[in-house]
Amino acid sequence: GQLGRGLATMLRFMYGEESVVMTDVRQVRPGENDVYNYRYLDILNEGAIDEAVVNGRVNTLIHFSALLSAVGESNVPLALQVNCQGVQNVLEVARRHKLKVFIPSTIGAFGPDTPRQNTPDITVQRPKTIYGVSKVYAELLGEYYHQKFGVDFRCLRFPGIISATKPGGGTTDYAIKIFYDALKTGRFTCYLRPDTMLPMMYDTDCTASVLFFLAARNSQLTQRTYNVTGFSFTPEQIADKIRR
């Protein structure tokens, strides 16, 4: 997906070409030269995850598989399966094999009652989308597996991620799609108010945050889930810059 491929490239650079096993449920398309050592894996099949971990001698699971907010709202049953059952499967495999596991969360895990300025790591979370609800579930289940079974669970709440990858159906993906539409048709219709200020992050900064977080010693962590961000802007501001 949007983040997994870039992170895999950096991990191979740091730890060697054979250090990463990449998985998904679709074929690799022509031109996707950053996809390497690739295997089909359905996240809903716990046995298949187990097999991939054993055969690949895996010691760290990075779980990016999810249905994002807009896509999740159009297919709630599938979102529950992928975003909840998938997380449970990953954590069970991590428990059995004593793996480190990183599962990202999102600003979508917050809700209208959450403080918007200097949002605390521990705060009110009452999301209004199935994506946000499922990410709160992932955060809490991961922390439970850490406390109950000692699983080295780590989680960062990502803002909107800006990259050259085509958008995947998230609320903040307008900030990517607007560039594509500007180049293809010269027109873009945004589903957010012009003054909606949302936090964003450039994809390379996001990758760096994951790498630093994974490299941190357990003793350095005071909790398992943290906020991370880069900058904020509105649809009106980015549209103005594109016009210029």
Active site residues: 131
Q: Is 179 left (phi over 0), alpha (psi -120 to 50) or beta?
A: alpha
Length, in residues, of the chain: 244
Q: Which of 158, 166, 207, 229 is nearest to 8 (CA)?
A: 207
SS3 state at 231:
strand
* Beta strand spans in the chain (E): 22-24, 38-40, 60-62, 100-102, 105-106, 152-158, 160-162, 198-202, 225-227, 231-233
C-beta neighbour count of 69 within 10 angstroms? 22
